Amino acid sequence: MVQYSTKLLQSSQSSLQEGITLVSMKLPFDEMLDSAGKARPHYQIFHNWLKQQSDTLMGLKRAEADLIFRRVGITFAVYGDDLGSERTIPFDQVPRIFTAKEWAQLEAGLRQRVTALNRFIYDVYHEEEIIKSGIIPAEQIFNNAQYRPEMRHVSVPRNIYAQIAGIDIVRAGEGEFYVLEDNLRVPSGVSYMVEDRKMMMRLFPDLFQKYRVAPVEHYPDLLLECLKSVKPNDVKKPNVVLLTPGMYNSAYFEHSYLAQQMGVELVEGKDLFVKNEQVFMRTTQGPERVDVIYRRVDDDFLDPLAFRSDSTLGVAGLLSAYRAGNVTLANAIGTGIADDKSIYPYVPRMIEFYLGEQPSDSKWKFQQGSKTITVQVSGRYSANHTGIRLDAALKHIGIASLPYFVARHALQDGRLIQVLPDWYFKTYYSGDAWLLYPPTRHLPPKLSVFIQFLAEKLAGSRPFVDAWYGPQCVWP
């Protein structure tokens, strides 16, 4: 073990003599102050306001927040904690402020990541292309405790397995973020974020007159809209419920809060039953069919007939109704395979494999002579199929990057126009062309001749390839 002492830090020569190497570590990033100790531009107003507040006032405000949280019951349980089973939610009077530009960068990266993770979950339970390609070893998937063979070839609405994702982010520097972990099984905690915002508005309303703050209170409405969007195909007006393990669960406040805010029933396993591969809820008016279950119960406890037989938290026969397509579970069973720590290192490869993108593809680079500029983009969806991108551009969804040969006819007849024609649009794939053919050692003679012909013609002729394949930014 290396011990760091004042003497060692003062003398690098003595450190070398003692056989110890001192490593310079990057200082933690200060959200509010820059390296010179000055407030960052987007924190300037808050910094000036904070200096005017006394320590006594801030202490009283913090005590008021704790008191309100306890009175309202906004707490969470800590299992195995000797200090007590209930704690008030974490609350910081100093907010973390993101600029709109920085938030757009985060949003684009998270959309890309969650899209790739959903594609991955679908793939491992269907074609297994990422395994066949050798990107992820088969044993990494099939020997994983989170892999659910019961989900093989099970179709889910819109092929979306993780409707709700909790991605833990840490800042490494200005405009630089890292993902600590992906939470796709039963992500929780969003209600505390909403309540923290409400508390800030109650305690310091004047701050919200100084900043244009993006709202968060409409999250339950967005959540309900999302859940309804993945209803079974034969249902017109879906009945949504929130399935909770019960009042002794650590996140029970959040379960009851979200159910109340969405206006849906909060149910436990004993409130539901399965008949003819359909799920019903027991009510005073008789059985009522359930179409979408926002489940806050782990896979192992969902169905005692399929998973843990000793579970009293789930619903017997739920898996059979789910496999029949008569009920939607959000999130889907088996999503844990994508947020397992052993899978985490493969996510950048997933993004490239499923989306045809790099993690940095949300940054578009333009070149004009020796000058290069980078623009952060945040598209509403991404696709690695040029035909889909062309169709999106023609339907006025936004600006698309397309190879010239794909956009040529639409450009010629005026349905598309080229954006920034004086700039060269650089992508990770610019100037590349791929020839794909079956992996066999015995190629037909004609195919061998054709491959040789292309190799000779394209070898070293980068300008020819760029002119043929070079991507264009086009606008409808």
Q: Please state the three-class secondary structure of 217-283 as a single string.
A: CCHHHHHHHHHHHCCCCCCCCCCEEEECCCCCCCCHHHHHHHHHHHCCEEECHHHEEEECCEEEECC
Which residue from 184, 313, 330 is spatially nearest to 264, judged by alpha carbons? Answer: 330
Q: Could you tell me which of 206, 233, 202 has the C-alpha nearest to residue 217?
A: 202
Residue 101: which pLDDT band, with cuts at 50, 70 and 90? confident
**Mean local confidence (pLDDT), 446-450:** 80
For 8, other C-beta atoms within 10 Å of its C-beta total 15
Report helix, strand or coil for 358.
coil
Q: What is the pLDDT of residues 418-439, one digit of tens each?
A: 888 888 877 655 555 556 666 5
What is the residue type of 197?
Answer: R
pLDDT grade for 464, boundaries at 50, 70 and 90: very low
331: preceding bond cis by omega (within 30 degrees): yes
Task: Please classify residue 139 by burial: count the beta carbons closer than 10 Å to its beta carbon, then call 0-12 exposed, 13-18 middle and 19+ buried.
Answer: exposed
Q: Give the per-residue pLDDT at 13.
A: 39
Q: Looking at residue 434, what is its pLDDT?
A: 59
pLDDT for 371 equals: 85
pLDDT at 468 > cutoff 50: no
Residue 295 CB-density burial (10 A; 0-12 exposed, 13-18 middle, 19+ buried): buried
Average pLDDT value for residue range 397-415: 85
Cα separation, 192 vs 251, in Å, equals 10
The predicted structure's pLDDT at residue 221: 95
Buried/exposed 341-366: b ≥16 CB within 10 Å, e otherwise = eebeebbeebbbbbbebebebbebbb
Lowest mean pLDDT among 123-137, 138-152, 358-372: 358-372
Residue 395 has pLDDT above 90, yes or no: no
Q: Which of 71-80, 133-142, 314-323, 431-440 has the weakest average pLDDT?
A: 431-440
pLDDT bin (cut points 50, 70, 90) of residue 15 is very low
pLDDT of residue 19: 46
Would you say residue 277 has pLDDT above 80? yes
pLDDT of residue 467: 31
- pLDDT level of residue 466 (50, 70, 90 thresholds): very low
How far, in Å, CA of 203 to CA of 136, rounded?
A: 50
| Burial of residue 111, with CB atoms counted within 10 A of its CB: 0-12 exposed, 13-18 middle, 19 or more buried | middle
Q: What is the largest CA-CA distance in the chain?
A: 86
Average model confidence (pLDDT) for the chain? 84
Q: Is the confidence at residue 370, as pLDDT, over 60?
A: yes
What 3-state DSSP class applies to 64? helix
- Residue that the structure tokens 């539901």 belong to: 272
Cα–Cα dist 139/117, whole Å? 19
pLDDT at 258: 96
More confident residue, 417 or 447: 417
CA atoms within 13 A on the CB side of 313: 19
Q: Which helix (H) or strand (E) holds 424?
A: strand 424-426
Summarize the confidence of residues 318-346 as an average pLDDT: 96
Q: Which residue has the higher pLDDT, 3 or 391?
A: 391
For the beta carbon of residue 9, count every other beta carbon within 10 angstroms. 10
Pairing of strands 292-295, 240-243: parallel
* pLDDT higher than 50, residue 291: yes
Amino acid in the structure at residue 243: L
SS3 443: coil
Give pLDDT, residue 292: 98
Phi, psi of 125 (to 5 degrees): -100, 5
Q: In what order do the strands lie in the sheet with 371-376?
A: 371-376, 363-368, 424-426
Paired strand residues for 171 = 177
Strands 240-243 and 265-267: parallel
Query: What pLDDT is attached to residue 250?
Result: 84
The answer on pLDDT for 201 being more than 50 is yes
d(CA 134, CA 348): 15
pLDDT-derived band at 135 (thresholds 50, 70, 90) equals very high
| Arithmetic mean of pLDDT, 467-472 | 39
In this prediction, residues 292-320 reach a mean pLDDT of 97
The secondary element (H helix, E strand) that includes residue 147 is none
The predicted structure's pLDDT at residue 118: 96
Q: Which two tokens stand for residue 320?
A: 């059979």
Report the phi/psi class of residue 134: left, alpha or beta, with left for phi > 0 and alpha for psi in -120 to 50. Answer: left
Residue with tokens 């707490």: 75
Phi, psi of 183 (to 5 degrees): -115, 105
Q: How many helices (H) and strands (E) does the chain have?
A: 18, 17
Overall size of the chain counted in residues: 476
Q: How confident is the model at residue 375 (pLDDT cuts 50, 70, 90)?
A: confident
